[in-house]
Amino acid sequence: MFDDFIRFVQELYGTKELIPLHSPRFNGNEKKYLLETIDSTFVSSVGEFVNRFEQQVADYTGSSHAIAVVNGTVALQIALKLSGARYNTEVITQSFTFVATSNAIRHCGAVPVFVDVNRSTMGLSPKSLEEFLEGQCELRDDGTCWNRLSNRQVVSCLPVHTFGFPAQLNEIKKICDHYNIVMIEDAAESLGSFYGKKHTGVIGKLAALSFNGNKIITTGGGGMILTNDNKLAKQARHITTTAKKPHKWEFNHDEVAYNYRLPNLNAALGVAQMESLLEYIKNKREVAHQYQAWGARNNMNFIQEPANTKANYWLNVVIMQDKRHRDQILEATNNRNIMTRPAWVPMHKLSINQDCQCSDMRNTEWLYDRVVNVPSSVNL
């Protein structure tokens, strides 16, 4: 039934062997920089490559500050903590996301509240957000936003740039500002994606990037906190390095904190990967356009970047007619060495989140029944 599509993907990647969903590419200075790091003996959380990597990401994204950490989940956790997420507060996010989004909220002691997404962006729906805030929440005299049903303060809103496609940031931020809620961007999948002329991750108060092995660039494992706020950047750097007070030799710590600093060894990979980023994005967009052109000729609907955005096309997305067709293409492709995957089980469906409030999820569930991710590796 899907033989033509299977042949197309095999021709696109030039093989009938296993075609991964998204595998890393190491065709630059990765080995050179790794050897330099080993020779220096600075393989842990101190070394020149950590600083270089942070500066590269800051320069590319246009963020005033970039703080490197060990993975994207802890980048989200620290961003949320700095936004005010703490025990018995609430963070509004989308259900259509990877579990790390809601886990990071839980790690802060906060409770996720799930709202719906838009079908076109697959990101948090401004309409669903506004309906929840208008219907369930109130602004109190001190300017804080509270959920009338749970009697918990709503401190943050966490839209996700799903599969690298930017969410509707201006509309979401306007609503958040009205309710005095901090907007944080889950940009784990969107390095290289732009909303208007701004890189994703610099419109919210804080943002988190991921450099996991399946992302557009990788450090093996790693993440980054972005912010334009000098005070928050200083706090982020302090609490991710055990809150150690600066001193030549004394170990004195002024709060309970975390050992989350990215090792120099991982950062060396990141520096080399950043040198190839523009080439990777150009190639991935070419791959996406080939999928879209083939889909237009063969009646398959591939998601395209929304207006006023530029997507990195981290993972290409085809929308099937229904769940039955979704499952058929998943079985056919995976049986023929082509790695395809459905979207994640929505967060509001997981047993671990059954205590969470959620809005009407018609778009989330519609997408879950139809989304298939197809091989999207850099093809160089």
Residue 197 lies in a domain: yes
pLDDT, position 137 = 98
Residue 159 lies in a domain: yes
Residue 288 lies in a domain: no
pLDDT, position 1 = 77
Residue 298 lies in a domain: no
Question: How does pLDDT run across 100-120, given as a tens digit for each residue?
Answer: 999 999 999 999 999 999 999
Indicate the SS3 state at residue 368: helix
pTM of the model as a whole: 0.97
pLDDT, position 17 = 97
> Which residues span the domain enclosing 40?
30-274
pLDDT, position 46 = 82
C-alpha to C-alpha distance for 280 and 246, rounded to whole angstroms: 39
Positions in the chain whose pLDDT score sits under 70: none
Q: Give the total number of structural domains in the chain.
A: 1
Residue 311 lies in a domain: no
Residue 22 lies in a domain: no
- Residue 215: both structure tokens together: 């992302």
Residue 339 lies in a domain: no
Residue 291 lies in a domain: no
Cα-based distances in Å from 63 to 48, 203, 274 = 20, 9, 15
C-alpha to C-alpha distance for 262 and 240, rounded to whole angstroms: 9
C-alpha to C-alpha distance for 114 and 94, rounded to whole angstroms: 5
Indicate the SS3 state at residue 264: helix
Beta-bridge partner residues of 113: 92
Strands 371-374 and 341-342, bridge-based pairing: antiparallel
pLDDT, position 338 = 98
C-alpha to C-alpha distance for 62 and 323, rounded to whole angstroms: 40
CATH number of the structural domain spanning residue 97? 3.40.640.10
- Residue 236: both structure tokens together: 């982020």
pLDDT, position 49 = 97
Q: Chain centroid to CA 242: how far?
A: 25
Strands 145-147 and 194-195, bridge-based pairing: unpaired
Indicate the SS3 state at residue 227: strand
